[in-house]
């Protein structure tokens, strides 16, 4: 069975948590595509050329320290606006999406560019304030200099860049379902997503 669940949306909307849980529920493979851009950005911060860094990604790059920092997130958003960087990463993502056994991918352009034929497309969002509060709760124990205002500013800057770029901008795919998680906790969001996926006839083939 080939079955792709594409999950797009802005930063810290809960896409990753939802995508991982959905993959586990249905026994599908899961890919956090933001990690590809973060791992590339990390190598660029080490001095590599962005396109060369994207082409040379290896599994070791995905387990490095610091991939989740705001600095690497901003770097990822910047190199993600470069068409040649995106081109270097597209083939791997498309093969992952159409593998046998089902796949869940989360990112910004999964339903629009990577896998327009995805059986299910979700656009997961939440208000800026809710997203910032969630991210702040996640990082404030580790990062003592973080403030809610700085986290909010960081998310807004990144979203604007990701939305305004010319290549593969973050937009809701026309045939995607909007899931606003502002008033939902992770298990409520998962229940809604499972209900959407479970009735798709493609699951039975
Ligand atoms: O999902 P994330 O916040 O870890 O992603 C980091 C950055 O990578 C994000 O700001 C934009 C970029 N990205 C992208 O352009 N396309 C994707 N499919 C995933 C991430």
> pLDDT of 129-169, one tens digit each?
999 999 999 888 787 788 999 999 999 999 999 999 999 99
Alpha-carbon span 110 to 54, nearest angstrom: 18
> pLDDT of 89-119, one tens digit each?
999 999 999 999 999 999 999 999 999 999 9
Alpha-carbon span 32 to 104, nearest angstrom: 9
CA of 205 to the centre of ligand 1 (A): 32
Alpha-carbon span 153 to 23, nearest angstrom: 31
CA of 78 to the centre of ligand 1 (A): 10
E strands, the chain, in order: 4-8, 29-32, 103-107, 120-125, 177-180
Please work out whether the CB of residue 131 comes within 6 Å of at least one atom of ligand 1: no
The residue whose CA is least distant from atom 9 of ligand 1 is 77
The residue whose CA is least distant from atom 2 of ligand 1 is 34
The residue whose CA is least distant from atom 18 of ligand 1 is 107
**Roughly how many angstroms between the first and final C-alpha of the chain, as a whole number?**
6
Instruction: Give the residue carrying structure tokens 């327009």.
Output: 116
Residue 140: predicted pLDDT: 83
Residues whose CB is less than 8 angstroms from the CB of residue 150 and which lie 6 or more positions away in sequence, other chains included: 70
The pTM (predicted TM-score) of the whole model is 0.96
């Amino acid at each position: 069975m080939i079955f792709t669940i594409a999950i797009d949306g802005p930063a810290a909307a809960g896409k990753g948590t939802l995508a991982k849980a959905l993959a586990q529920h249905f026994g599908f493979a899961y890919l956090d595509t933001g990690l590809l851009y973060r791992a590339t950005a990390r190598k660029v911060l080490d001095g590599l050329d962005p396109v060369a860094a994207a082409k040379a990604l290896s599994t070791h790059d995905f387990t490095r320290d610091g991939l989740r920092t705001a600095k690497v997130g901003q770097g990822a958003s910047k190199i993600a606006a470069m068409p040649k960087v995106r081109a270097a990463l597209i083939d791997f993502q498309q093969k992952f999406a159409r593998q046998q056994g089902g796949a869940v991918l989360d990112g910004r352009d999964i339903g629009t560019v990577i896998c327009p034929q995805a059986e299910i497309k979700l656009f997961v969002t939440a208000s800026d304030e809710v997203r910032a509060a969630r991210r702040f709760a996640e990082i404030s124990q580790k990062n003592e200099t973080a403030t809610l205002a700085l986290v909010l500013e960081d998310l807004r800057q990144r979203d604007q860049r990701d939305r305004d770029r010319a290549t593969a901008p973050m937009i809701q795919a026309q045939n995607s379902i909007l899931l606003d998680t502002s008033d939902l906790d992770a298990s409520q969001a998962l229940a809604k997503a499972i209900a959407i996926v479970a009735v798709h006839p493609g699951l039975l083939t």
